[in-house]
Chain A
Amino acid sequence: MLALATLLSLLYAPTLTAGFSAPVAQRIFYLHFGAAITSYVAFSGTFVFSLLFLKNGKPANDTAAAACASLGLLFTTMVLFAGPLWGWAEWGVAWRFEDARLDTYLVLGLVFVGYLALRRQIAEGDARARTSATYAAAGYVLVPLSYFSIYLFQSLHPKVISPGGQGVGGQGALVMLVALAAFVLLFLALLGWRLDQAALDRRVAALQERADL
Chain B
Amino acid sequence: MTEPSAPRGALLAAVSLVALLLSQGGAAAGFVTGVGASRVAHLADPANGVTVTVGVNETFDSYAANAFTFTLAGDSSTAARSYTVEVAISPDDPDTRASWNATATLEAGSSTRAVTVTVPAEAIKGTLSNTPFRFSLLGSNGTLIDSAEAAIDVRWRSPPADGGLLQLALATTAFWALVFLYALHLHSNERKLRARAEALERSLQGAQKDDPAEGPKR
Known pairs A10-B172, A204-B200, A210-B204; A85 contacts B186 (CB<8 A): no
Interface of B is mostly: helix
Q: How far is the CA of A35 from the CA of B157 in the complex (A)?
A: 27
Contact with B along A40-67 (1 / 0, CB 8 A): 0000000000000000000000000000
A25 at the interface (CB under 8 A from B): yes
State how many residues of chain A have any CB contact under 8 Å with chain B.
47
Q: How far is the CA of A103 from the CA of B37 in the complex (A)?
A: 21
Q: How far is the CA of A74 from the CA of B182 in the complex (A)?
A: 8
Q: How far is the CA of A77 from the CA of B62 in the complex (A)?
A: 25
A160 at the interface (CB under 8 A from B): no
A159 at the interface (CB under 8 A from B): no
Interface of A is mostly: helix
Contacts of B127 in A (CB 8 A): 92-93
B167–A207 contact, CB under 8 A?
no
Q: Quote the shortest CB–CB distance from A113 to chain B (angstroms).
A: 15
State how many residues of chain B have any CB contact under 8 Å with chain A.
42
Q: Quote the shortest CB–CB distance from B69 to chain A (angstroms).
A: 19
A86–B164 contact, CB under 8 A?
yes
B64–A19 contact, CB under 8 A?
yes
B164–A22 contact, CB under 8 A?
yes
B203 at the interface (CB under 8 A from A): yes
A208 at the interface (CB under 8 A from B): yes
* Chain A 99-136 residues near chain B, CB threshold 8 A: none
* Chain B 179-196 residues near chain A, CB threshold 8 A: 179, 182-183, 186, 189-190, 193-194, 196
**Please, which residue of chain B has its CB at the minimum distance from the CB of A200?**
B193
Known pairs A78-B178, A200-B194; A6 contacts B172 (CB<8 A): yes
A90–B176 contact, CB under 8 A?
no
Q: How far is the CA of A74 from the CA of B175 in the complex (A)?
A: 10
